[in-house]
Structure 1
Amino acid sequence: MRTSVIVALLMGLSCTTHAEVKEAGPDHFLSQNTRTVHVAPAKLYAALIDIGHWWNGKHTYSGDAAHLSIQAEAGGCFCERWNDQSVAHGRVIWASPNHLLRLDTALGPLQNMAVQGVMTFVLKPAPDGTTLQFEYRVNGASNSGLDKLAPDVDGVMMEQLQRLQRFAESGKADAAGP
C-alpha cells in the first residue's frame, strides 16, 4: 500500500472511542489507554505478538495483516514481508513475556516524517483477566505538526487495541456483524 493511501486512511478514520491523547504539540504527542482484557496475561501476550491475526490489514503496506510479524526479543523486527518487498515497522526494545512489550516504531506516515515513536504494552494480572496499559509516545521536529496527526493516529491505535482485545478473548479480531 502506498504511503499516500495510508495517510488518507489515517486522516479519514472516524472512530467513536479513542485512547486519550494526554499531550500534543507540534513536536510531540502522547496517547494512552488502559483496559481490562478477560484472559490471563500469558494468553494476552501470546495474542499481542501474533500481530498478523489481529492487526487490521487496511493499515499495512501489503493490504494483508498476515504479512506482519513480531520477533519478540530485544532487537527483533516488527516487520511486514510479502512477495519481494519488506517493511520494518519497528524494532523490539524490551520484551518481557507476559508482562511488557516495547517497540521503537513510527508507524505509517510517521515513518516518512523521520520522527521517533515508542509504543509500550504493559500487562498486569487483574481479578477478571489482565489490565492492559498502552502508551504511544511520538517526538519529532517542531515543524512536524504532530498535534494535528495525534487524534487520527490515536483513532487507528484504538481500533488496533479493540481488535487485539477481541482476538485475545474470542480468537477473532473482527467485530461480529449485525
Structure 2
Amino acid sequence: MMKLIAMGICVATALFATAQAEVKTKSETGFTIAIEFRLNATPDETWAALTEPSTWWNKDHSWSGDAANFSLDPVAGGCFCERWNGNEVKHMEIATAMQGKRLVMRGALGPLQGLGVTGALSWIIQPDEEDETKTMLTVNYNVGGYADMDAWSGPVDGVIVEQAARLARLVNTGTPEPDLTTRQEPARD
C-alpha cells in the first residue's frame, strides 16, 4: 500500500511540478484557468509544436481514441479539428493566429460542447527575458455560459493542465509522455 501511495505522489509531482496552474476565478456562470511553463525552446519552435496537436494531445481526450486524428489550421477562422472515418469534430475555431506569439481558439471542449457554454483558449508565447533560447508559455482558458460552471471548473482544469503539460514535455524532452525519472524545470514566478 505504501508503495502505491508513494508512486501516486511521484506521478502527481512529475505532472504538476512542470507548471504553475490554477483556477483563477470560478462562479456558477464561468471560470478562468491559468497555466505557465518555461520551455527549453525558442518561440518559433514552441509555435511549431503547438500547431501540431496530433503530436501531443492525449488520445484519452478525443472522440476517435487516436490523437493522430487531430489537426489545427493556424489561421483566423481555421479549425482545431478531429477527423476519422468520415466523422468530424470541430473542437474550437481559431480567432487569433500570430506566429510564434499567440494562438487564441474559441469554443467548448469535450462534454462542454453539449452545454450552453463557450470559451477562449489562449496560448501566449513570449521569449524568456533571461535566455533567448527559452520561452515562457502562458495558457488561459476562459469559459462561461448557461451551466453549473463552478462544478465543471475542476475537471476542465485537470484536462487543460494535462494537455499543456504534454505540449511542454514534448517541447522540452521530445515526447509528451511523462518520464518519472526526470523533472522538467518549473516555471518561474
TM (norm. structure 1) is 0.87
| Equivalent residue number for residue 148 of structure 1 | 151
> Contact 1:54 / 1:164 at 8 angstroms: preserved in 2?
yes
Write the distance in 1 (CA, Å) between the matches of 2:154 and 2:180: 26
* 1:83 alignment counterpart: 85
Amino acid at match of 2:160: M
Work out whether residues 19 and 33 of structure 1, in 8 Å CA contact, stay in contact via their aligned partners in 2.
Answer: yes
Alpha-carbon distance, 1:149 to partner: 0.9
Corresponding residue SS for 1:140: strand
> Which of the two has higher C-alpha Rg?
2
Cα distance change, pair 30–88 in 1 and its aligned pair in 2 (3 A): same
- 1:173 aligns with 176
Structure 1: 5+ residue stretches without partners: 1-13
Task: Give the CA RMSD over aligned residues.
Answer: 1.6
Query: 136, 142, 158: which is aligned to 1:131?
Result: 136
1:53-68 aligned within 5 A:
53-68=55-70
2:28 & 2:111 partners in 1: Cα distance?
15
Asked if structure 2 preserves the Cα contact closer than 8 Å seen for 1:54 and 1:160, the reply is yes
Q: How many residues align?
A: 163
Deviant stretches of 4+, over 3 Å: 14-18
| One-letter amino acid matched to 1:132 | L
Does 2:119 match 1:117? yes
Please say if 1:24 is aligned against 2:17: no
For the residues of structure 2 that align with 1:146 and 1:136, how far apart are their CA atoms? 13
- TM-score, normalization by structure 2: 0.82
1:19 counterpart SS class? strand
Q: Structure 1 vs Structure 2: percent identity of aligned residues?
A: 37
Offset at residue 15 of structure 1 (A): 5.9
- Unaligned runs of 5+ residues in structure 2 are 1-10, 182-189
CA displacement, residues 96-118 of structure 1 (integer Å, 9 cap, x when unaligned): 00000000020001100021110
